Amino acid sequence: MVKIGLDAGHYAGDGRVDKDFRAALGTKDEYTLNLRVYKVVERILESSGHTVIDIGRQEQSVTVRAKRAAQNECDLVVSIHHNAGRGRGATLFRHKNGTMGSASRRLQESIYAHVEKINRGNRSTPINKEEFGVINCDVTKCPSVLVECAFMDNCTDIGLINSAGYAERMGAAIAAGINDYTGAAGNTGSGETDDKHAPVPAVVKTYNPAAYAKVRGLTKADSHLNVRSGPGTGHGILRQLANGNEVDVLTLYSNNWAKVNIVGQQGYVHADYLDIQERKPAKRIVTVTGCTALNVRTIPNGPVVAGIVKAGTVLDVIGSGKDSDGDTWLQVRHGGLAGFIWPKYVE
């Protein structure tokens, strides 16, 4: 069981609200928005078996809130807010200075992996640092994160914030991130457990060229495969994959985790969920000549660019594919990057 210091930002006392925190385009003040999400997070965490301490109840001072977390020996602190100032999407802050930065960062990443699915894009810096007093770990004595759920002064975000079911979905996402983190931290209480110090598993196999794999075997109850920053569940979550997603597999470790490449981003997943197909070395190579920078797309003529290669780059040709017009694209690989290019730009 984990004791969680939870905070709905900007309570102004006696039912009053702080005018500075009125939502510019909405009708609600920030505290009201924060409290709606807070109540969902509290309910889910308590039903998950955790103890929730309301560190912000009846209190304006962020320092008092932070001290309340320490007095209650909380294992982590999450403060819930809504943002303003020309951005869009969620921003999660840990403290700029002081202790427990890496644990706080893992908590940030765990929550963001869930929260980003609720928002409609992001125009902020999602994993950020600030000197907010409520998340000062030197005072709270535990990993601490402030979640700005979305921007109250952005037309897209306020539409989302005011939409039916938003608080429920956002609260569930924050709670899921906290639950991921507490599972990962081993519920030790100190929050300082960091299995980055655990022995690195041995490399069992290196794939060269990188193998191809599709994600499979996920169930309805367990519908996402976490991509983590290291080979084990103690590492932070970078993103999530679903059944059918495709990755390049670079390395297999003795604990059956694999290092993978997903359109240019490297991470680690449990290999039980990968259908790994080794690839033969390239049959031929081509050189980018017809343009200064060439898009490598995830599917033939697809909208998603996996990466860009410059003129003069030598590419391995590993296959081909047809687009919806029936035109043939070359499937190429360059380092960890793989995808489709328009053949006119190479020779």
For 25-60, give the DSSP string.
Answer: SSSSBHHHHHHHHHHHHHHHHHHTT-EEEESSTT--
d(CA 240, CA 268) in angstroms, rounded, equals 11
Q: How far is the CB of 9 from Zn ion (least distance, A)?
A: 4
Which listed range, 76-84, 178-186, 261-269, 309-317, lies at the site for Zn ion (CB under 5 A)? 76-84
Task: Name residue 170's amino acid.
Answer: M
Which listed range, 11-19, 74-82, 243-251, 306-314, lies at the site for Zn ion (CB under 5 A)? 74-82
Q: How far is the CB of 100 from Zn ion (least distance, A)?
A: 22
Please, which residue, 34 or 245, has the CB nearer to Zn ion? 34
Q: How far is the CB of 231 from Zn ion (least distance, A)?
A: 37
Tokens, residue 145? 């994160």
Q: How far is the CB of 291 from Zn ion (least distance, A)?
A: 47
d(CA 235, CA 238) in angstroms, rounded, equals 9
Q: Which of residues 308-337 bind Zn ion (CB under 5 A)?
A: none
Please, which residue, 161 or 315, has the CB nearer to Zn ion? 161
Locate all alpha helices (DSSP H) within the chain, ordered by sequence. 30-47, 62-71, 101-115, 137-140, 155-161, 166-184
- By residue count, the chain amounts to 347
DSSP, res 185 = T
Omega of the bond prior to 209 within 30 degrees of 0, cis?
A: yes
Report which of 47, 37, 48, 187 is spatially closest to residue 56, judged by C-alpha positions. 37
Q: How far is the CB of 301 from Zn ion (least distance, A)?
A: 44
Please, which residue, 26 or 300, has the CB nearer to Zn ion? 26
| SS3 at position 89 | coil
- Does residue 133 bind Zn ion (CB under 5 A)? no
d(CA 304, CA 323) in angstroms, rounded, equals 14
Which listed range, 1-9, 52-60, 101-109, 241-249, lies at the site for Zn ion (CB under 5 A)? 1-9
Please, which residue, 7 or 109, has the CB nearer to Zn ion? 7
Q: How far is the CB of 28 from Zn ion (least distance, A)?
A: 13
Please, which residue, 81 or 235, has the CB nearer to Zn ion? 81
Please, which residue, 9 or 26, has the CB nearer to Zn ion? 9
- Does residue 81 bind Zn ion (CB under 5 A)? yes
State the binding string over 4-43 for Zn ion (x if CB under 5 A, else -). Answer: -----x----------------------------------
Please, which residue, 22 or 205, has the CB nearer to Zn ion? 22
With CB under 5 A, what is the number of residues at the site for Zn ion?
A: 2
Please, which residue, 9 or 336, has the CB nearer to Zn ion? 9
CB 241 within 8 A of CB 224: yes
- In what side-by-side order are the strands of the sheet with 203-215? 237-241, 225-228, 265-270, 257-262, 246-253, 203-215, 274-277
Tokens, residue 250? 């670079």
Which listed range, 38-46, 78-86, 88-96, 205-213, lies at the site for Zn ion (CB under 5 A)? 78-86
Residues that bind Zn ion (CB under 5 A): 9, 81
